[in-house]
């Protein structure tokens, strides 16, 4: 996934906001809480980091190209970083980023989720 692909996908998620921080990383948030980080060095992907469920963490942490996210996982948080090939394919990575968004949004207060147009579980509220 390229930097442009990563940023475009994250931007497509409901109520997502973007900042550049922590040494030039693309940091995506929902309700002020981080759900995805992308770091690039010399135009190459140095790591895409996302929150996962405990079950997904147990499955993904030992896959080639994936690892417990530096700093976050060492503090007991279930975050994974894709840092090398083969990692996840494009759709698999998009699915994990979407799930990270849902998990983080689901942890926001009900009031904030309503203000952002999200349902109680963090999903986008449909207008129909």
Residue with tokens 């309503």: 114
Question: In the chain, how long is the greatest CA-to-CA distance?
Answer: 45
Residues paired with residue 26 on neighbouring β-strands, in sequence order: 20, 38
Query: Which one has a higher pLDDT value, 120 or 110?
Result: 110
Query: Which one has a higher pLDDT value, 125 or 65?
Result: 65
Choose among 85, 96, 76, 114: nearest CA to 28.
96
Q: How far apart are CA 43 and CA 74, in angstroms?
A: 27
Q: How many CB atoms lie within 10 A of CB 12?
A: 10
In the chain, where are the structural domains located?
A: 3-112
Q: Tell me the CATH architecture of domain 3-112.
A: Alpha-Beta Complex (3.90)
Choose among 99, 25, 2: nearest CA to 60.
99
Tens digits of per-residue pLDDT, 42-59? 666 679 999 999 999 999
Q: What is the pTM of this model?
A: 0.88
Instruction: Examine the pLDDT at 73 and tell me if it is beyond 50.
Output: yes
């Amino acid at each position: 996934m390229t930097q442009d692909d990563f940023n475009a996908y994250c931007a497509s998620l409901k109520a997502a906001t973007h900042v550049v921080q922590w040494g030039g990383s693309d940091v995506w948030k929902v309700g002020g809480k981080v759900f995805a980080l992308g770091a690039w060095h010399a135009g190459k992907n140095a790591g895409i980091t996302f929150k996962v469920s405990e079950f997904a963490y147990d499955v993904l942490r030992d896959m080639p190209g994936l690892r417990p996210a530096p700093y976050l996982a060492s503090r007991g948080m279930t975050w994974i970083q894709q840092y090398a090939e083969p990692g996840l394919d494009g759709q698999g990575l998009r699915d994990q980023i979407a799930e990270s968004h849902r998990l983080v949004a689901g942890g926001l207060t009900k009031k904030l989720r309503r203000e952002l147009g999200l349902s109680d579980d963090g999903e986008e509220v449909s207008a129909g």
